Structures are given as structure tokens and as C-alpha cells.
Amino acid sequence: MFATFITVVLFVAASIRNVAAFTIYTPQMTQCQDVQISWEATKGPYNILVVPANDPCEGEVLADLGDNNGTSITWKPDLPAGWQVVLSALDGNDEEAWSGTITIGGGDSSCVRAEFASPSSPAAPPSSAPASAAPASLAPASVNNSSSPPLYKPSQPTANGPLGGVASDPLTGGALRQTTTPMLILGTVSAVLAFAL
């Protein structure tokens, strides 16, 4: 019976290690400069998306980086400086991983997509806003010359994060991992132990 217990514990530990390993890292990004996006290897292909930090689950997909078989890709952010985004990854096991919040840094704006480009200079706030309303890097959030809502409005990160509380994982430096499967496995091991004793 003790040998069975040890076998179950080793199997569960290996399963938890494999499930918990899917992580996408949080890189620094500057507009129009190549950035390497990387993640832990699980089962490919890996679908990588760039989504708004203020609404990562329901918001508009800002960039679909496609299905990838490796563990890293290079991308040139074509988004305005000051925008806050999150990377979303889905692996071949349908496991999700989320990066921490990334603020796009300022730089060369020649590659910024027209639908996201600001009609005013990013160095000055719009004329209708007071000069102290927002820092220059947040100018895209306050520019709205039409009656329709803006495509994206940068916001400050919340404590809840995209998955309701798992955003502050101290072991992964802001990278999020799906935590339900390891908890189910631990619950199963506890039940087996209780039944065996």
C-alpha cells in the first residue's frame, strides 16, 4: 500500500509540474521596435494575441500573432505609445497563459497602424483637455474627435487581473498560469489519501 501511495504522489507531482509550466513572459515593448515574445514549451501550436489590458477577455484583439510551433516569436508593436496591453497565449492543450500588463514605450511611430494613430502630436495633450489632465504618454486615451467611442482606452492595471485574482502570481513575475487543474489534482490526491487511510 505504501508503494501505491508513493506512485500516486510521484505521478501527481509530475502532472502538476507539466500543467503549471505553461507561462508567457512579460517583455518590455517600444512602438515600432522588434521585441521577442517567449513562453514555456508545452504542446503546440501556440496562438498568441495582443489584447487591451483593461478588458483582456472581452476586448478587441489588437494583434493576432498567429499559430506558432516554437517557443518564441519576434513582433514589431504597431500600437501607439502609452497603450497598455496584455499577451494571451493558448497552447495545443487549450491551456491559457497571460502576461503581465505591458505599457508600449514611445519611439519611432512610423509603423503605427492608421486606425490607432492619434491626429494630434503625442507630445501635447488635445486642445480640449487641460494641460494637467494626463501625461503626454497617455494622449491616445484622451483623443476622441468623433461621436463614436474610442477603439481602445488605456487604463491602470487592477488587482483582479484578467482571470480574477491570479494576476499577482509572485513566482512568475506577473505571468499568469491556469491554476484550476493543479488544484483539482491536489484535491484528488487528498481524497485518495483519505480513502487509503
Position 144 in a domain:
no
**98, 172 in Cβ contact below 8 A?**
no
pLDDT class for 59, splitting at 50, 70, 90?
Answer: confident
119 or 102, greater pLDDT:
102
Position 33 in a domain:
yes
Position 18 in a domain:
no
pLDDT class for 174, splitting at 50, 70, 90?
Answer: very low
Looking at the structure of the chain, the number of domains it has is: 1
The owner of cell 484535491 is 187
Instruction: Report the run of H or E that residue 46 belongs to, with start and end.
Output: strand 46-52
CATH number for the domain spanning 80: value is 2.60.40.10
Q: What is the pLDDT of residues 3-57, one digit of tens each?
A: 555 555 555 555 555 555 689 999 999 989 999 999 998 988 999 999 999 988 8
Whether the predicted pLDDT of 152 surpasses 70: no
Position 89 in a domain:
yes
Position 117 in a domain:
no
Q: What is the mean pLDDT of the chain?
A: 68
pLDDT class for 165, splitting at 50, 70, 90?
Answer: very low
Position 122 in a domain:
no
As a whole number of angstroms, the distance between CA 101 and CA 57 comes to 14
As a whole number of angstroms, the distance between CA 59 and CA 149 comes to 13
Position 13 in a domain:
no
Position 63 in a domain:
yes
Query: Which residue range(s) make up the domain with 66?
Result: 23-112+153-177
